[in-house]
Structure 1
Amino acid sequence: MKKAGIIMIIGSLLLLGLFKFPLWNIMLGAPQYPDPLGMNIYIQGIQGVQEFDIQNINGLNHYIGMRTIPKAEDMWEFEVFPLVIGIMVGLGVIIGLLGFFGKVSYKWFLGWFILMSVLGIMGMYDFNQWLIDYGTNLDPRAIMKLENLDGTPMSYKPPLLGYQKMLNFDVDSWPATGAYMIFVGMMLTVVAFFVGKYEHNKIKKSNI
């Protein structure tokens, strides 16, 4: 399964892009901000798209009682995520090498994909829970206290995916380069599974 093994290795190594490129991007646009404010979310922490974006977002959040954007040391995820990605890359490369030398079944490629999918779903769930807490757990002493029509406190949770209007801000939340690299890498491991299956069946027939 030489071809399948090589594809598996390439797919796994694409995840290393997460150590350089952002996983997610959130942009906030409003009439008073001709150049939208933005956050790039990496597996190691959160950075502003422009130099003073985080500072400006924190200033706006102060008025409505939202907490400041957390630093890397404030969230355990930014310690765990790089470790998880590193382990999955190493595991994928090892499986690919073993497949290249015919030491493991092509089914291991699919197993890696399933495991990575589960971890990805867990990561997205955790990210959404953070957004909920960040947008709803407000300081009761905030300067501005806005309510919904039913009298309940207004939530400022950014969308997990897509567009949302929040007061006079247009908020967009979309995958960034790192997320697309994960997607391509994972799809390559699926390709490796089918190529490995084809190579396995071809060898099996030739031995009959």
Structure 2
Amino acid sequence: MKKAGIIMIIGSLLLLGLFKFPLWNIMLGAPQYPDPLGMDIYIEGIKGVQEFDIKNIDGLNHYIGMKTIPEPKDMWEFQVFPMVIGVMVAIGVIIGLLGFFGKVSYKWFIGWFLVMSILGIMGMYDFNSWLAEYGSDLNPKAIMKLLNPDGTPMTYKPPLIGYQKMLNFDVDSWPAMGAYMMFVGMMLTIVAFFVGKKEYKKVAKKPILKTVTA
């Protein structure tokens, strides 16, 4: 399964892009901000798209009682996620190498994909939970207290993915380069599974030649 092993290794290594590129991006545009404010979410922390974006976003949030953007030390996810990705990359490369030398079944490739998919779903759930808490846990002493038409306090949860109008802000939340690299890498592991399956069938169909000695 040489081809399958190589594809598996490449797919696994693409996840290393998460250490360089942002996983997610949230942009906030409004008439008073010709250049939208933005946040890039990495697996190791949150950074502003422009130099002062985080400071400006925190300033806006202060008026409506939202918390400041967390530092990496304030969220356990920013310590755990890099370790999880590093371990999964290492396991994927090892499986790929073992597959290259024919030491493991091609089924290990899809096994890695399933584990990574579960971890990805858990990560997205955690991210959405953080967004919900971030947008709803407001300071009761905030300068501005806005209410919904039914009289309940307004919340400011950004969308997990897509567009949302929030007061006079247009909020866009979309995957970024790191997420696309992870997606491509995971798709390659599926390709490795099918290539490995095909290679295995070819080997299984080869006739066994027996030598007869006189």
Please tell me the TM-score bracket, short chain as reference: over 0.9
Counterpart residue number, 1:145: 145
CA displacement at 1:207 relative to structure 2 = 3.5
Q: Measure the CA separation in 2 of the matches of 1:156 and 1:197.
A: 48
Residue 85 of structure 2: aligned partner: 85
Indicate yes or no: 2:152 matched with 1:125. Answer: no
Partners of 2:108 and 2:130 in 1: CA distance:
33
The C-alpha deviation readout for 1:126-147, integer Å capped at 9, x for no partner, is: 0000000000000000000000
Distance 1:25 1:10 in 2: 25
Deviations 1:91-150 (A, max 9, x none): 000000000000000000000000000000000000000000000000000000000000
Q: Is 1:25 matched with 2:25?
A: yes
Partner of 1:173, secondary structure, is strand
The 5 A counterparts of 1:11-50 are 11-50=11-50
Please give the alpha-carbon distance, in whole angstroms, between the structure 1 residues aligned to 2:129 and 2:207.
54
Structure-2 separation of matches of 1:181 and 1:79: 21
CA deviation profile, 1:39-74 (whole Å, cap 9, x unmatched): 000000000000000000000000000000000000
Query: How many correspondences in the alignment?
Result: 208
- Partner of 1:26, secondary structure, is strand
TM-score by length of 1: 0.99
Superposed counterparts of 1:1-208, under 5 Å: 1-207=1-207
Structure 1 stretches of 4+ moved >6 Å: none
Secondary structure of residue in 2 paired with 1:28: strand
Name the CA distance, whole Å, in 2 between partners of 1:206 and 1:98.
22
Q: Distance in 1 between matches of 2:83 and 2:21?
A: 16
Alignment partners' CA distance in 2, 1:63 and 1:207: 76
| RMSD of aligned Cα (Å) | 0.5
Q: Partner letter of residue 100 of structure 2?
A: F
**Partner amino acid, structure 2, of 1:11:** G
Give 5+ residue unaligned stretches, structure 1. none
Higher Cα Rg, which structure: 2
For 2:42, give the aligned amino acid.
Y
Q: Which whole-Å CA distance do the structure 2 matches of 1:33 and 1:66 have between them?
A: 19
Task: State the secondary structure of the residue aligned to 2:164.
Answer: strand
- Counterpart CA distance in 2 for 1:174 and 1:202 is 42
